[in-house]
Amino acid sequence: MRYFIGNWKMFGVPKSINILNKINSFHSKDKNRRKYRVIFTPPYTLLETYAKYFRNKRISIGSQNCYQKDLYSSNTAAVSPFMIRAVGAKYTLIGHSDNRSEGDTNDMLKDKVKFALKNNLKVVFCIGENKKDKKNNRTFSVLKNQITKVLEKKFNRNNIIVAYEPVWSIGTGKIPTKKELEKTTMHIKKVLKHLFKTKSPAVLYGGSVDGSNVEMFKEIRDIDGFLIGGASKSSKKFIDIIKNYYR
C-alpha cells in the first residue's frame, strides 16, 4: 500500500473543500486506486466538517498535531486525541518539525503517540535531520534517536506510519539525492525493524515533493509514499504527483 498525505499546515477555509473534492473524484475513478490511500490533514477549524463530509468517500482526514493527554485538560488551545477521534478524524501527524521547533520534546512526543493510539487514531510520526546535522554527518544517529526515544516495541506498528522529512528540504525546493535517500530510508527501516522485531511500519518521504520530482522517488524501494505540503494546496499539483508516480 502506498500513501499520499497532504498536510495543509495553516491553510484553508470551509470552501477549500473543493480542492479535496476534485482529488476525491480523481481517486474514485483512477485505475490504480486500490494501490494507495489519500489522507489530508487540514487545520483543526475544518476537521469536523471535512471528516463528516468524507466519511464514506475515499479521502481520510487527520489532524496536524494533538495534545499529549487523554480526554480533557485545562490547557488553553490544546486539543486531545480523544476530541480529534470524536469528530471523525482517523489520523494525526505527530512530531512535525514545525512543532518540534516550537518545543515538542521526545517525552511529549512519546505521550502523544501513546494517547493517539489509545484513542484509535493512526499516527503519522515525523522525523528528520536539520541542515547542521546533515553537515556534521549526524543524520543516521539523529534519526535513530528520534525513533527510539519515542516509539516503543509495544506500540502497534500497524497503526503507525513514519514520515521522513529532512528539515532542510521542507518548503525549500531542495531534495536529497537518490543515493542519499536510498541509504537513509534503508537505515530508517532497519532501525524500525529492529525495534518492532518484525516488519517495519510504512516509511514516507516528505520535503518539496512535486509532480516533477516524484518519478525519482518511486525508484527507491524503501519509500512507501509521501507527505506533501505546498503541492497539497492545489488539486492539480497533488493529482499530478499521483499520476506521475504511477506512470
Q: How far is the CB of 195 from ligand 13P (least distance, A)?
A: 23
For the CB of residue 31, give the shortest distance to ligand 13P in the complex, in Å: 26
Q: Which is nearer to ligand 13P, 20 or 82 (CB)?
A: 20
The sign one gets for the Cα dihedral 59, 61, 64, 70 is negative
To ligand 13P, the closest distance from the beta carbon of 217 in angstroms equals 12
Supply the minimum distance, in Å, between the C-beta of residue 171 and ligand 13P: 4
Nearer to ligand 13P, 161 or 196 (CB): 161
The residue among 39, 96, 86 whose CA lies nearest residue 62 is 39
Give, in order, the Cα–Cα distances in Å from 236 to each of 21, 243, 244. 12, 10, 12
When the beta carbons of 43 and 230 are compared against ligand 13P, the nearer one is 230
CB-count burial class (<10 Å; 0-12, 13-18, 19+) for 70: middle
Give CA–CA dist 56/89, Å, rounded.
12
Nearest-angstrom CA–CA distance, 95 and 139: 17
Nearer to ligand 13P, 24 or 232 (CB): 232
Which of the residues are catalytic?
A: 96, 165
Q: Which residues of 139-177 are buried (b: 16+ CB within 10 A; e: fewer)?
A: bbebbbebbeebbeeebebeebbbbbbbbbbbeeeebbe
Map grid coordinates 542519499 to a residue: 180
Cβ distance to ligand 13P smaller for residue 84 or 167? 167
Spatial contact of 122 and 159, defined as CB atoms under 8 Å apart? yes
Can you read off the three cell numbers belonging to residue 215?
518519478
Which amino acid makes up residue 148? Answer: T
> To the nearest whole angstrom, how small is the minimum distance from the Cβ of residue 5 to ligand 13P?
8
Give the binding site for ligand 13P (CB under 6 A). 7, 96, 165, 170-171, 206-209, 227-231
